[in-house]
Structure 1
Amino acid sequence: MLTHFQFKPLFENKNIPGWNFSFYYKKQRYSGIYHQTGKIEWTVNTPEQDDIETLTSQIHELMLYHVYE
């Protein structure tokens, strides 16, 4: 389970989609960019291949809840 999830707009104009996000998973900090298309671009510490699918799913759910609701 990821913890301490945070996000902020990528651009000053908040109408332009794109967000920076960060979180902790297995005592490791990860961060990336969440694009409007749902694509995730990892910027700090790419997760292990086995964890990417699970983390991607959780990030999508969190972004849908916080940004699009």
Structure 2
Amino acid sequence: MIQHFHFKPLYEHKQLPGWLISFFYKQQRYQAEYHKDGSIRFLGVAPAEDDLAVVEKMVHELMLFHVYD
């Protein structure tokens, strides 16, 4: 489960979609860029390969709830 999910716009004027996100998963902090096409680019450490699909699905659900609501 993702905990302490935060997001903020990548661009000052907010007309260009894109967000910097951060969260904890399995007691590890992750940072990533979430782009308007739904792609996620992890900055630094990325989740393990076997957790990656699960983490990306949870991030998409959180972004839909918080940003695209």
Give the TM-score normalised by the residue count of structure 1: 0.97
Aligned residues: 69
1:56 shift after superposition: 0.2
The equivalent of 2:4 in structure 1 is: 4
Counterpart code for 1:66: H
What are structure 1's unaligned runs of at least 5 residues?
A: none
1:45 shift after superposition: 1.2
| CA distance, structure 2, for counterparts of residue 29 and residue 44 of structure 1 | 10
Give the TM-score normalised by the residue count of structure 2: 0.97
1:44 shift after superposition: 2.7
What are structure 2's unaligned runs of at least 5 residues?
A: none
Identity level (%): 49
Counterpart code for 1:6: H
Runs of 4+ off more than 2 Å: none
The 5 A counterparts of 1:1-69 are: 1-69=1-69
